Amino acid sequence: MSVRVRFAPSPTGHLHIGGARTALYNYLYAKAQGGTFVFRVEDTDLERSKKEYEVSQLEDLRWLGIDYDEGPEKPGEYGPYRQSERTHIYEEYAKKLVDDGLAYYDFCTDEELEAMKERAMKEGRPPHYEGKWRNSEYFEEAANKLAAGEKGAIRFKAPKKSYVVNDEVRGRVVFPENMVGDFVIIRSNGLPVYNFCCVIDDMLMKITYVIRGEEHLNNSVRQLMIYEALGGTPPAFAHVSLLINKDRQKLSKRDGVTSVTKYKEESYLPEALINYLCLLGWSHPDEKEIFAIDDIGLAFDAKRFAKSAAIYDLEKLKWVNGMHLRALPNDELKSKIEEFIAKDHFYFSQSDTWKDSAIELLKNQIEFFSDFQPRLDSDLLNGEVNRSEKLEDVLSWDTTKKIINFLKDKLAGIDDSFISKEKFQEIFKSLKTELELKGKPLFMGTRVCLTGQDHGPELGDLVPLIPLKIIKERINHLS
């Protein structure tokens, strides 16, 4: 049988970054194996599920470059692909389990269930269901309640045996006997429980491989029980690493982890976000950190999933974004950057040559398109002087004071809007010769006087892009 994988989110919110990673891994695995990627909507939580979230999640997946082969908008032979449209299927299988003596109706009240839990805690045992309605002596009463129209939940009879998952990432995982008690598969309101409908769907949709987060590992034991009861073959499982912060704690919004929609609004590049997510639990065989997802192909192998938790580092993500930004073709990079520059900005009144040179000069110092204008204003258009401790030290040198006076005199006679590259080289050579300077006093002193900063791009590339009046303002501030 060909490989079939699935991504099955609940439409109760926007696509979270962890869900996006799960979708990505399934998509890449299907692509590498020549298989089928199924998108299924787990919308049995009727109160919280919303159509707008389903639409949003699909839009975010497409923005990331992830598309599915089967799903609500691409129906195949195993639909429908929304669980809310499959409730009759779950009811049919639940009743079959009841008829086979593998499940039973339960009419315990919430108060009774809470009392069971409290007793178990006092006695130091797992808070399992005590099995009142499991006993045959209550079957007649249960039948009478059903005949009278009373609603009851359906519980699965958990076998008293251990279960084993040979996980592709975790290895052999043993779930001991009595790890779980009898559990609900259909609520009293008629809605199915996750572990039940998930198995039914995976079984009927012929899912062969399940890639999901490690937090779902404990769900496996209940799902294996249901597969066994229904005579189905479980898929292979790969439970990928948890996402944690630098303090090795559970991620929160404080760590910059939020919905994909938010990253899109903050102008992250989809290729950068998807690149970074891929590395959170998987490693490239060539040890690459920067790559395009479309170039992975057969290189995506489940054997390269990591067991250890993946640290989500927002600064690393920003770095990856900057790397992808700088790799864009020049015309596309320029077009994107200009979307984030104020329409009345000095930039738009300059020649294309000046614009291209400014972008080429500053692109290595930005991680987002929106960073360009602030960097431009700071490095090229600010007549003020950055009075840092280091800069003040340079300004205190006698050699720097000589450079200030030299440049003030040389520039006074120039009326052009900019100093040409050739003119700057001429002035710099003259300064070096006449003041007999070299090394740090020459290069650092000249940089501070012309740019107002103690570090930055090569002066020969930077100075010709700074308006001459700005340079003169800086030098006057230093005089």
CB neighbour class for 337 (10 Å; exposed up to 12, middle 13-18, buried from 19): buried
Which residue is listed with tokens 């692909």? 81
CB neighbour class for 44 (10 Å; exposed up to 12, middle 13-18, buried from 19): buried
What 3-state DSSP class applies to 156? strand
Instruction: Give the span between the Cα atoms of 116 and 119, in whole angstroms.
Output: 5
Helical H segments across 346-467, by residue range: 352-362, 372-379, 389-395, 398-412, 421-434, 439-451, 459-462
Phi, psi for 36 (deg, rounded to 5): -120, 135
For residue 109, the one-letter residue type is T
What are the beta bridge partners of residue 5? 37
Q: In Å, what is the CA distance from 298 to each residue of 2, 61, 212, 301?
A: 16, 21, 20, 7
Strand 183-186 to strand 153-156: parallel, antiparallel, or no bridges (unpaired)? antiparallel
* CA–CA–CA angle 301, 264, 361 (5° rounding): 90
Which residue is listed with tokens 């994107």? 336
Structure token digits, residue 47: 């109160």
DSSP per-residue string spanning 236-263: EEEEEPPEE-TTS-B--GGGT--BHHHH
Cis check: omega of the bond before 80, within 30 degrees of 0? yes
Structure token digits, residue 366: 């930005």
Contact between residue 407 and residue 475 where contact means Cβ atoms under 8 Å apart = yes
How many other C-beta atoms are found inside a 10 Å radius of the C-beta of residue 198? 23
What 3-state DSSP class applies to 347? helix
Q: Which of 160, 253, 343, 438 does the annotation list as catalytic?
A: 253
Structure token digits, residue 191: 């809605």
Answer positive or negative: Cα dihedral of 240, 201, 81, 91: negative
For residue 311, the one-letter residue type is I
What 3-state DSSP class applies to 133? helix
Residue 334 is among the residues annotated as catalytic for this protein: no
What are the beta bridge partners of residue 153? 106
98, containing H or E segment: helix 87-99
What 3-state DSSP class applies to 453? coil
User: Which active-site residues does the annotation give?
Assistant: 253
